[in-house]
Amino acid sequence: MRCAEGIEVRDLDECYINIDPIQVGGRLTVDAMKAVIAYGDGYSVCDHCRKPFRLDHIKTPPIDRFHRELAAFIGMEEARVVPGARRGFSAVTGTYVGKGDPVLLTTLSHYTEVLAVESVGGVIREIPAELGHNITADAAAMTIESVLREFGRAPSLLMIDHIDYQYGNVHDVQGVARVAHQYDIPVLYNGAYSVGILPVDGRDLGVDFVVGSGHKSMAAPAPSGVLATSKERSTELFRTTTAKTDLSLRTFGIKEVMLLGCTLMGVTLIGMMASFPAVRERVGHWDEEIANGRRVVEALQRIEGTKVVSELPRKHTLTRIDTSGSFDRVAKTHKKRGFFLSSALKELGIAGTIPGATKVWKFNTYGMTSRQAEYTANAFLAIAEENKIPVSS
Amino acid sequence: MRCAEGIEVRDLDECYINIDPIQVGGRLTVDAMKAVIAYGDGYSVCDHCRKPFRLDHIKTPPIDRFHRELAAFIGMEEARVVPGARRGFSAVTGTYVGKGDPVLLTTLSHYTEVLAVESVGGVIREIPAELGHNITADAAAMTIESVLREFGRAPSLLMIDHIDYQYGNVHDVQGVARVAHQYDIPVLYNGAYSVGILPVDGRDLGVDFVVGSGHKSMAAPAPSGVLATSKERSTELFRTTTAKTDLSLRTFGIKEVMLLGCTLMGVTLIGMMASFPAVRERVGHWDEEIANGRRVVEALQRIEGTKVVSELPRKHTLTRIDTSGSFDRVAKTHKKRGFFLSSALKELGIAGTIPGATKVWKFNTYGMTSRQAEYTANAFLAIAEENKIPVSS
């Protein structure tokens, strides 16, 4: 069935248990869906935009209040919405990173952080992950020292992913931030896999900037996200325009330079807002999510030859798995080759894996009910047994 | 009626004739509405993202084809979708403008162009509008010469709005671009009020970059837009990452630096795509839109003391009007003061004017039927007569 010319209706999340690594935290709530329908049109949230003409000052719908609540939710002073986490990174690198400036990322940093640094001509140095794929304060300290020797100055910025996209491991943000601050290095916290699905308190973590993704973890349409900071840094990051044009002598009020004025003027923002009460509530159930994730991981561990590459026990629902010694062996002789796995899963009502992937791959159990987790765990076991892979009890 | 906690259902475009200057071209088509419902979830267009893992290469839904058709639609070689026109400006300034570089805007340039220059430290010089608020090739030439004298070098970039936001006047892009190219200055065409509502051919105009706004003029959700360029410029503007991280030695494929990788991964893009067949068709009816606009303008001209500040005859549906000598006189003694006008319009089913504005204000008739245009024209006349303002026949 098509919803428009050439566009098939999307019903993946209606018809399947979705375990796609990036999609599960961004599915809309029912309220968001309703709001999206009501606010689909372009500049739909601007009906009541009055002086000083800035998105976060609009009172109807209550965008101003949402901004305050959003900042409080993640333990920061000032928050703005942005078109995706990457635009948050970019606003920060655009403010703090000059051409040739060293910037610390980690060996597990997301590619969008790399691009945000590259776009302003910064030089990337990585903090190495320790054995077990964890970023530690010690490794951060050593890398800062090494940058000092190489560049004769401290990095302009340090960016750290609380949960990395590769392993879904939890990293010591607090420890890393403490070390960075000893060198006066501002710290950006990438919460793409945390803000909106687990409790995050930027003040407690001691970071200068918190970035979250609406479409990845806040049950919001794409592109959306949040960029928040402290009172002190907000005057730098959210600086208002000082431009005065030379002939018309125009000035532009309190528009913020690095945000390029208003950011999400319609459906994306209203989706974030409508989901927010549910999002604020759901972070309190993170332990249940972890339990569901572990249930699936434990089933996979029972399949002979399967290795969990992520840290154990699992502390996040995103998990990297190596099935070279199990499902990939089957793929070698199966008539569907590597496609047998995604195909078998799909037949059992489970979607979101990359077709053909049977070696190292990822899945995310976020948002499942415990029954769905049990069903998914059993599905993996059934596929193993059907293909004669030994399963331990 | 609320669609979510604290959020009233928006029914402005269902219940009123909307003449808001910025909203009328961004109302969704029925197909876009259906697609938005099907693709509301976060990363909804990424189900079938495969190597080389970039938004504009996705085949299902047909995002790759859409990109090609979009480029052809505006007469350029390469097109990308961006989160709003401003992000298109910013990708261009980020590529071509260094700190201290002079950039030509005009005295009628939109504020987002100013911010895009300010964000990279460029220095703005304005091309003055001639009497009647028009930007001419002669004025561009003189300003370029003046920049050469002041900076000892040509501007790094020239940005021109085909239709300006203040008067809705049509400017001589072709002439200005020809002059700019004599000095090897790349030209950015701001089509926020043109791409998607009237025919635009970047090749014919002789510009290097075409930027359009999805939520302003392409019947798409916010934030969305298009950034297109020539084959030659595309290797600069859409350059792919060359970053290789120092420890993990990661590279990042063909992700484009100035776009920060993928841009519109869900509802915004699908909205643009679903509306596109209708958008492509509707630009062919621009003459009817102009006729509707003129009908309303002519009625306003009949109201004594009312001045049309935009150029005449009107060539665009966005018009600036000065009612200081008509409606504002009424406001001085009316019990609702300046609010009487928006209030009277609303009672007649017309929305989108700023409450309280009776001096200089703007409206946009885009998207009306001819019956609605006639109704709107008569509504203004009726309000004038009701308030004893003489109306000529």
Residue A378 lies in a domain: yes
Question: Which residues of B, range 11-50, sit inside 8 Å of A by Cβ?
Answer: 11-13, 20, 22-23, 25-28, 31-44, 46-47, 50
Residues B256, B125: one domain? yes
Residues B92, B203: one domain? yes
Residues B289, B255: one domain? no
Residues B142, B176: one domain? yes
The minimal CB distance from B222 to the residues A89, A124, A267 is found for: A267
Residues of B in contact with A105 (CB under 8 A): 245
- Predicted confidence band of residue B178 (pLDDT cuts 50, 70, 90): very high
Give dist(CA A293, CA A297) in Å, integer. Answer: 6
Residues of chain A with pLDDT under 70: none
Closest residue in B to A265 (Cα–Cα): B222
The pLDDT of residue A111 is 98
Tell me how close the Cα of B362 comes to any Cα of chain A, in angstroms.
Answer: 15
| B233 at interface of A, judged by CB pairs closer than 8 A | no
Give dist(CA B26, CA B234) in Å, integer. Answer: 27
The pLDDT of residue B380 is 98
| A369 membership: H or E segment, kind and range | none
- Predicted confidence band of residue B131 (pLDDT cuts 50, 70, 90): confident
Q: Which residues contact B73 (CB under 8 A, 6 or more apart)?
A: B276, B280
pTM of this structure: 0.98
What does residue A191 show for φ and ψ, rounded to 5 degrees? Answer: -105, 35
Residues of B in contact with A60 (CB under 8 A): 8
Residue A392 lies in a domain: no
Give dist(CA A197, CA B72) in Å, integer. Answer: 42
Residue B163 one-letter amino acid: I
How far from chain centre, in Å, is Cα A177? 19
pLDDT in tens, B256-285: 999 999 999 999 999 999 999 999 999 999
Give dist(CA B216, CA B50) in Å, integer. Answer: 31
Residue A38 lies in a domain: no
pLDDT in tens, B227-267: 999 999 999 999 999 999 999 999 999 999 999 999 999 99
The minimal CB distance from B128 to the residues A247, A273, A354 is found for: A247
Q: Do A6 and B61 touch (CB under 8 A)?
A: yes
The minimal CB distance from A35 to the residues B3, B214, B266 is found for: B3
A to B CB pairs, distance under 8 Å: 316
Tell me how close the Cα of A390 comes to any Cα of chain B, in angstroms.
Answer: 31
Residues A240, A307: one domain? no
Q: Single out the residue in A237, A265, A293 at which a domain terminates.
A: A265
Q: Single out the residue in A265, A298, A323 at which a domain terminates.
A: A265
Q: What separation in angstroms does the CA of A167 have from each of A171, A196, A200? A: 11, 19, 19
Name the residue range of residue B214's domain: 50-265
β-strand pairing of B17-18 with B350-351: parallel
Here the ipTM equals 0.98
DSSP A85-113: HHHHHHHHHHHH--TT-EEEEETT--HHH
Q: Single out the residue in A235, A265, A295 at which a domain terminates.
A: A265
Q: Do B265 and A31 touch (CB under 8 A)?
A: no
Q: What is the mean pLDDT of chain A?
A: 98
Q: CATH number for the domain including A317?
A: 3.90.1150.10
Residue A42 lies in a domain: no
Q: Which residues contact A324 (CB under 8 A, 6 or more apart)?
A: A305, A358, A359, A360
Closest residue in A to B128 (Cα–Cα): A247
Residues B298, B249: one domain? no
Which residue in A5, A30, A41 has the most chain B C-beta atoms within 10 A of its own C-beta, making it the best mutation to test that interface? Answer: A41
Residue B33 lies in a domain: no
Tell me how close the Cα of A214 comes to any Cα of chain B, in angstroms.
Answer: 7
Residues A288, A260: one domain? no
How far from chain centre, in Å, is Cα B185? 23
Residue B291 lies in a domain: yes
Residues of A in contact with B222 (CB under 8 A): 42-44, 264-268
Instruction: Outline where B197-354 has alpha helix (H).
Output: 202-205, 214-217, 231-237, 267-282, 286-301, 327-333, 339-347
| B128 at interface of A, judged by CB pairs closer than 8 A | yes
Q: CATH number for the domain including A207?
A: 3.40.640.10
Residues A70, A166: one domain? yes
The pLDDT of residue A393 is 87
Residues A105, A146: one domain? yes
Residue B157 lies in a domain: yes
Residues A55, A14: one domain? no
DSSP A148-212: HHHHSS--SEEEEESB-TTT--B--HHHHHHHHHHTT--EEEE-TTTBTTB---HHHHT-SEEEE
Q: Structural domain tally of chain B?
A: 2
Q: What is the mean pLDDT of chain B?
A: 98
Residues A82, A220: one domain? yes
How far from chain centre, in Å, is Cα A276? 16
pLDDT in tens, A317-376: 999 999 999 999 999 999 999 999 999 999 999 999 999 999 999 999 999 999 999 999
The minimal CB distance from A264 to the residues B50, B223, B270 is found for: B223
Residues B155, B223: one domain? yes
| B142 at interface of A, judged by CB pairs closer than 8 A | no
Closest residue in B to A92 (Cα–Cα): B119
Residue B37 lies in a domain: no
Which residue in A114, A166, A237, A364 has the most chain B C-beta atoms within 10 A of its own C-beta, making it the best mutation to test that interface? Answer: A114
The DSSP secondary-structure symbol of B208 reads S
- Predicted confidence band of residue B47 (pLDDT cuts 50, 70, 90): very high
